[in-house]
């Protein structure tokens, strides 16, 4: 009986989710280019946020150095296109791989540090990579460089889309990058869910909740945390490369910006609900609304964003989604497990009491 009611309550969010996904896929076909571009920005921010949420919310690794992976993803993609003559989409993949490779030595350094030291250590490493990128003269050094004109036009699939949809090649390129960002966000969400439901994910949450107890039952914290660090570096690198296809110009300060690629991301996750899967989605929506509403008041939206983050941490640490979910019991991505039947508390038979 319990099973039927839970499957009914679970199928509704899935139907809604699929309907939303279908609408999102259709956006470039029906909406003006500006909308597609805006949504591209939101989706990429969402991917970055989901990656940081995995790191900080589930693996307990509070990194302030995610901009290193965005920047390296972007720079490797530019190098792949400009220096090695690859298609930008191959460049995106290489960007992700490059970021993951960089994460290996970074992990060897940062994993010696704990808590606050880890946060500062990752920030310093990201700053080192920014300064090093400024020394890379082949890609313009400190002033950066642009993608050659027409790169996105010649990108894989753009000509096909252009003929198919009968639009300008710029619009076709926008649609292409938009769909890639959408795919990345969906894959990230589904992969996070499956991972957290898996044995490894359970171990990860066990570590977060009680390190000693988790180790006692055979969970290896270092290995799990290191694999999350590398995987999120890959995801962040992919996303960074994709973002800079759209921007078409890269400079060390923009590609390794702590504000754009880490601070915003942290606020999005915190406001939405850290350690919950839907949290980043809610956070991105709030971020976008704030940015829109306060667009005419300079950096006021940043002040509001920071203040909102502080308020959330002071009064409801699980963020908007966590609070909502706790109040209503609605959770489309349940991560909790029921104990096996043999372990459930059984009512004590009266005979046992007598004995």
| DSSP letter string, 75-142 | HHHHIIIIIT---HHHHHHHHHHHHHHHHHHHHHHHTTS-THHHHHHHHHHHHHHHHHHHT-GGGTGG
Q: What is the C-alpha to C-alpha distance for residues 145 and 115, in angstroms, rounded to an integer?
A: 37
Closer Cβ to other proteins, 77 or 263, answer by number: 263
Residue in 183, 300, 326, 330 binding other proteins, rule: CB under 8 A: 300
Contacts of 24 (CB under 8 A, 6+ apart): 39, 182
Q: Does 293 bind other proteins (CB under 8 A)?
A: no
Binding mask 160-179 for other proteins (x = CB under 8 A): --------------------
Which of 121, 115, 117 has the alpha carbon at shortest distance from 68? 121
CB of 173 to other proteins, least distance (A): 33
Q: Does 306 bind other proteins (CB under 8 A)?
A: yes
Q: Does 78 bind other proteins (CB under 8 A)?
A: no
Residue in 38, 127, 154, 253 binding other proteins, rule: CB under 8 A: 127
CB of 241 to other proteins, least distance (A): 24
Q: Does 32 bind other proteins (CB under 8 A)?
A: no
Q: Does 23 bind other proteins (CB under 8 A)?
A: no
Q: Does 228 bind other proteins (CB under 8 A)?
A: no
Using the rule CB under 8 A, give the single segment among 66-74, 148-156, 157-165, 312-320 that binds other proteins: 312-320
Which of 262, 269, 256, 271 has the alpha carbon at shortest distance from 316? 271
How many residues are present in the chain? 355
Both structure tokens of 255: 């590609």
CB of 93 to other proteins, least distance (A): 29
Q: What is the C-alpha to C-alpha distance for residues 178 and 167, in angstroms, rounded to an integer?
A: 15
Closer Cβ to other proteins, 52 or 178, answer by number: 52
Closer Cβ to other proteins, 55 or 89, answer by number: 55
Q: Does 120 bind other proteins (CB under 8 A)?
A: yes
Q: Does 121 bind other proteins (CB under 8 A)?
A: yes
Q: What are phi and psi of 217, to 5 degrees?
A: -95, 15
Chain centre to alpha carbon of residue 130? 21
Q: Does 115 bind other proteins (CB under 8 A)?
A: yes
Residue in 134, 203, 273, 278 binding other proteins, rule: CB under 8 A: 134
Q: Are 280 and 50 in contact (CB under 8 A)?
A: yes
Q: Does 135 bind other proteins (CB under 8 A)?
A: yes
Q: Does 213 bind other proteins (CB under 8 A)?
A: no
Q: Does 298 bind other proteins (CB under 8 A)?
A: yes
Q: Is 145 helix (H, G, I), strand (E, B) or coil?
A: strand
Residue in 83, 216, 247, 310 binding other proteins, rule: CB under 8 A: 310
Q: Does 109 bind other proteins (CB under 8 A)?
A: yes
Binding mask 234-263 for other proteins (x = CB under 8 A): ------------------------xx---x
Q: Are 166 and 28 in contact (CB under 8 A)?
A: no
Q: Is 154 exposed, middle or buried (0-12, 13-18, 19+ CB in 10 A)?
A: middle
Number of amino acids touching other proteins (CB under 8 A)? 44
Distances (CA, A) of 316 to 62, 122, 296, 320: 19, 27, 30, 8
Q: What is the C-alpha to C-alpha distance for residues 99 and 111, in angstroms, rounded to an integer?
A: 17
CB of 86 to other proteins, least distance (A): 29
Binding site for other proteins (CB under 8 A): 56, 62, 64, 109, 112-117, 119-121, 123-125, 127-128, 131-132, 134-135, 142, 258-259, 263, 266-267, 270, 274, 298-300, 302-303, 305-310, 313-314, 317
């Amino acid at each position: 009986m319990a099973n039927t009611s839970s499957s009914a309550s679970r199928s509704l969010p899935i139907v809604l989710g699929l309907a939303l996904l279908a609408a999102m896929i259709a956006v470039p076909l029906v909406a003006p280019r500006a909308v597609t571009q805006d949504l591209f920005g939101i989706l990429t921010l969402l991917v970055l946020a989901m990656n940081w949420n995995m790191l900080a919310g589930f693996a307990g690794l509070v990194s302030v150095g995610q901009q290193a992976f965005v920047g390296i993803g972007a720079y490797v993609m530019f190098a792949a296109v400009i220096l090695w003559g690859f298609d930008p989409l191959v460049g995106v993949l290489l960007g992700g791989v490059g970021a993951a490779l960089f994460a290996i030595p970074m992990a060897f350094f940062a994993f010696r540090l704990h808590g606050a030291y880890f946060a500062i250590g990752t920030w310093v490493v990201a700053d080192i990579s920014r300064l090093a990128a400024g020394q890379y003269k082949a890609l313009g050094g400190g002033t950066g460089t642009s993608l050659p004109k027409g790169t996105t036009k010649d990108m894989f699939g753009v000509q096909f889309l252009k003929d198919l949809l009968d639009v300008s090649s710029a619009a076709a390129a926008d649609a292409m990058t938009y769909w890639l960002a959408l795919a990345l966000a969906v894959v990230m969400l589904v992969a996070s869910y499956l991972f957290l439901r898996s044995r490894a994910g359970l171990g990860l949450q066990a570590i977060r909740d009680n390190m000693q107890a988790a180790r006692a039952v055979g969970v290896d914290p270092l290995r799990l945390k290191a694999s999350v660090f590398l995987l999120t570096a890959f995801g962040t690198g992919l996303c960074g490369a994709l973002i800079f296809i759209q921007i078409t110009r890269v400079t060390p300060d923009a590609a390794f910006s702590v504000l754009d690629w880490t601070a915003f991301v942290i606020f999005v996750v915190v406001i939405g609900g850290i350690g919950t899967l839907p949290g980043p989605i809610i956070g991105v929506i709030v971020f976008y609304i704030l940015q829109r509403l306060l667009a005419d008041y300079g950096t006021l939206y940043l002040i509001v964003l920071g203040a909102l983050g502080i308020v959330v941490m002071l009064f409801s640490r699980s963020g908007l989604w966590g609070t909502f979910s706790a109040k209503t019991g609605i959770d489309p991505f349940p991560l909790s497990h029921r104990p096996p039947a043999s372990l459930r508390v059984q009512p004590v038979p009266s005979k046992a009491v007598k004995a």
